[in-house]
Amino acid sequence: MLTFTAVFGGVGTFLTVAILLLTIINIFLSVHNNIAERKAEIGLMKAVGYKTSQIFYSMYLENIILAVKALLIGGALSAAAVLIINLVNSSGDTAQQMYVMPWLSFLILLAIAFGVILVIPLVCLLIMVYNIAKIQPQEAMNA
């Protein structure tokens, strides 16, 4: 016999994987559009004498700074939401206590999110390095 937890545990896993995949696709498209929109800037950097690796590191650092800011804001808002939900539901019956989240689980999920925001932009930029290397300064300035 299927229990409530068994049925909705599978749905939760599916939603988690789906959200993670959508996040990865969103980050990849964001990095790709960032490079496409900044073609002239990248061409200027190459004309001045920047190497492809220097451009790569500056773009990666920029993505990491934005991602860490987003993680801090999202983590603070999530922590506030978890705190409010825990305070509201901690004295309720069993059905209400299903929504109480242990702080250790929250911190583990926050650490996983931090790992994702470090690795995914790196992989995306490594894939896009080929496009960065193809940009010629003269072509970028004319575009």
- Across 19-43, b (16+ Cβ under 10 Å) vs e yields eeeeeeeebbeebeebbeebbeebb
- Token pair, residue 136, equals 């010629």
**Domain enclosing residue 89, as ranges:** 4-142
How far apart are the C-alpha atoms of 94 and 99, rounded to whole Å? 9
pLDDT tens digits, 67-116: 889 888 988 898 888 778 777 766 655 555 555 667 787 788 888 888 88
pLDDT interval class at 9 (50, 70, 90) = low
Number of domains in the chain: 1
Does the pTM exceed 0.95? no
